[in-house]
Amino acid sequence: MIQNKDLIQYILGISDNAMILGQRLGELCGHGPNLETDIALTNISLDLFGQTRSYLQYAAKLKDDGSTEDDMAYLRKEHEYKNVLLVEQPNTDFAYVIVRQFLFDVYHLLFLEQLSESKDQQLSAIATKSIKEVKYHVRFSGDWVKRLGDGTKESHNRIQAAIDILYPYTNEFFEASEVEKLAMSSEIGVNVQDLKTEYLKLVTQLLTEATLTFPEQVYFLSGGKQGKHTEYMGFILADFQYMQRTYPNMSW
């Protein structure tokens, strides 16, 4: 049976993916290529933060030491965040934003579909509620991948370049951490290794439709689940944590 401290860490790993990607998308508010897309990206960010709140409220309840969702979101050190490296990659251009989103969305939906069957009723409920939102995320990012890939020569080259850079971060999805293994053995967590075949099938299918390809030679990158992040993470947290660090114990 998984211990509370390990379950909390498992929940934080899930929430950190949504939270850091939500923060990245939040940086784009007002900078979308058109109004409709700008609003869509902002709404996806809000969806991810809504999911994050549900996870962190549950983690704070399990911790039972007076911690709040804000404490758990803002007051950890960089190495204590366990998000995958993909979600912290920068908003280099619109093609990068879309590819990062699509590569995460496909995994996220598969993950939530399994998590909805968790023996932990709270996690199951959060996952079930989130699935509808994430189905929209997959549709939005997938449609844009097809539009850019099968569009002009410029859009095709830009999104192919983004795939070449970002695809090597995807294998980390399927590398189970020790906490994930504990949660899986307790029938609470998702067996992420089982998601890989379907993930590759769905991503390959859409890339083929978009006249895009995976890079031929890939050196996969990982470390985020162990708290070993890229140079971008510190900058994200400097912005994300500023108010809570500057004005301790602030309340709205």
Q: What is the largest CA-CA distance in the chain?
A: 56
d(CA 107, CA 146): 18
DSSP 3-state assignment of 184? helix
Which amino acid is residue 10, in one-letter code? Y
In a domain, 161, yes or no: yes
Neighbour count for residue 69 (Cβ, 10 Å):
18
Query: What mean pLDDT do residues 80-86 have?
Result: 97
What does residue 220 show for φ and ψ, rounded to 5 degrees? Answer: -75, 145
d(CA 217, CA 156): 20
In a domain, 252, yes or no: no
Q: Are the CB atoms for 192 and 176 separated by under 8 Å?
A: yes
| CATH number of residue 47's parent domain | 1.20.1260.10
Lowest-confidence segment of 10-19, 136-145, 192-201, 211-220 by average pLDDT = 211-220
Model's pTM, two decimal places?
A: 0.95
In a domain, 251, yes or no: no
In a domain, 109, yes or no: yes
pLDDT of 216 over the 90 cut: no
Domain encompassing residue 77: 4-246
In a domain, 208, yes or no: yes
In a domain, 106, yes or no: yes
**What's the number of domains the chain is made of?**
1
Confidence at residue 252, expressed as pLDDT on a 0 to 100 scale: 60
Query: What mean pLDDT do residues 24-47 have?
Result: 92
CB-side neighbour CA atoms (13 Å) of 132: 4
pLDDT of 171 over the 70 cut: yes
| Confidence band for 217, pLDDT divided at 50, 70 and 90 | confident
d(CA 28, CA 42): 8
Judged by phi (left if over 0) then psi (alpha if -120 to 50, else beta), residue 249 lies in left
